[in-house]
Structure 1
């Protein structure tokens, strides 16, 4: 409820700013596309700050700095310098500061902890073909399947933890496609899986936790990470 009120108010205020800026009521006239990008980047920044998603937080500030380089007096910094610094900062901060996921889930169904006083939405999916489209939210998904064939996962401006530990493959191979933008995503996969990683990384961060076994079913992980973070956890 709080999140709905916040974003509703945010976009109402944005509409007022858009109209007043075009009427020349501000001291300086701001181009309409510049204003649209500014509103979108501020929205990304607020969401990222609230959930401590470091990559999207830093890059939203970086793009704002590029857009307003002249008023800020930082034109000496070329865009690639700002983006390069943002990449290094996002990696460093992502290591030091984790998204606000403070919980433990036991297989008996008991929760402990919370998500910064908000419990992330969770659901169990029983389907051999999984399609997830998550936006502006923090979620947990448990994939249960005895004949798993593949998954398509799209996450934007949010955070997701997706568990594949209770999955059996239908055949000896499967494919998981990811499309991650301005988000932090963690995949929990069986250590017996032999992951073949083919993910296009665009100003993002891809990490692996744990060590897989030397034999097991082959799973192709493909897609892209754009201004986000993907963590693969072998369990």
Structure 2
């Protein structure tokens, strides 16, 4: 959270300087306040996506910047929907082609930085391996991964030893029900990576949510803290141009 404050604080200061310079004629290109704010948000999303090697965030951030600066980039012959469709095809194609590289890249990076055993390395390699296939999980798996692109899906989880679950949603809608889930311990991690979509999580009333999301231009609706707490849920991930809601059931 401290790093996040520095990151967004620096971007706000840069934005103020650029907006001032464009209004008083320091730059040849004049930024409107709206285009500047969107540029800063998309640039921040692009940087965080590059750091985490999140292809969907990279591709759609570049697509958003292309829409804003269609005139200087000579893209006025393309409609907004055409640019988004091209971005979607790029996302799908790059995800399939770069899957082996990303698998090796994530593995080697964790080994160098962490270097505290094989458990985390195996965990990340498993998630990357599962990223591009449809998973059919049995009730004993402790780590799950689901991906939805331009689709609407409802997930009913029945796992009895769950430690971590990841949802990647791009231009889609997700509903996930956790009422039949038994966490492996007192803590559970839910990773939400949502780009231009909506996600609803339905969880038991005894679970407390710790909001650790990195988000921009998004709505996050969290319930009040429960009186009886049995599980701490760490809500993490990247959320951009999305709506997230947590509902107690």
Q: TM-score, normalised by structure 1?
A: 0.49
Please report the TM-score for the alignment, with normalisation by the length of structure 2: 0.46
Q: Name the one with the larger strand percent.
A: 1
More relative contact order, 1 or 2 (CA 8 Å, 6+ apart): 1
